[in-house]
Structure 1
Amino acid sequence: MEKRLEKATLGGGCFWCLEAVYENVKGVTDVASGYAGGHTDHPDYRSVCSGATGHAEVVQITYDPEVVSYEDLLDIFWTIHDPTTLNRQGADVGTQYRSVIFYHDDAQKKIAEVSKEKAQARYRDPIVTEIAPLSKFWPAEEYHQDYFRKNPHQGYCQAVVAPKVEKFKTHHKGWVK
């Protein structure tokens, strides 16, 4: 019998950060960096970075729900980025870096709303994470895929991505592959 895999699509700043974390989660079979939530077809990195397309940098996670639940993926999400800053994560500023959960169906929408409410207890400031339906996921250019794994010594990876991966491994030891 074939495994039933599901997808989750999340944005929380630079997609390299989220991709690097979720690639280390038990039950995750694939993570693709890409773009979602905008108003143009076939966006590319340059146009998304301009802020003109309305797209957010996101990751689309393919996972085995018998190993890791959507709730677990969201619990990780709340701890690996700051969901209280509007359109920014650290030095990355703009709507393309917004905190967003793109749900694939009504069940994911309900789970995301409950998860956001529970996560609010961890933060003094209000969570500004958008919860919206996924209309289309556009994969990013090939050089963005598996970026941290391919470029671990690059400056941004050392300064920004690596600490997020370590934070995940510290706070979610039971989920590390």
Structure 2
Amino acid sequence: MSCKLLSEDMNLLIVNEENKLDTRENINDKLHVLSSNQLSEDDLNSLALVIDGKSLGFALEEDLEDSFLELAVMCKAVICCRVSPLQKALVVKLVKRKKKALLLAIGDGANDVSMIQAAHVGVGISGMEGMQAARSADFAIGQFKYLKKLLLQRFQWSINC
């Protein structure tokens, strides 16, 4: 809420299952409901997916990854909580493999290094958790608040080229 990734009026789609079968059913049920309703742009902008590490492990398996990605791209925000460093990198690699998009990964600790390196552009934030993320990134900043300035400056440079 504080970084405005989620808002009070957003509809949370929560996936936190104990086994693969339940994870598959949860994701497919959500996809069915969303695809059967004609959703407007405002409706899609009010969706946020929250998935825990255990369910994400199942969702990243080959037979579920397409459904998971389809559900994720319908949402304005996707939050993967309690995930391993490997899972962070696998999510980035999945999107990189399946979508024609440039990926930016931002991290501030050693657990973010593999995700930062898997993305097209990595931003490391140095600080409380050490320098590992900043050392492995394409760009390093001292605090999260400098991210906006970095992105705006890089965008301006890319337009002028």
TM-score normalised by L of structure 1: 0.25
Answer 1 or 2: which has greater strand percent. 1
Q: Based on CA coordinates, which of the two structures has the bigger radius of gyration?
A: 2
The structure with the largest helix share of the pair is: 2
Higher relative contact order (CA 8 A, sep 6+): 1
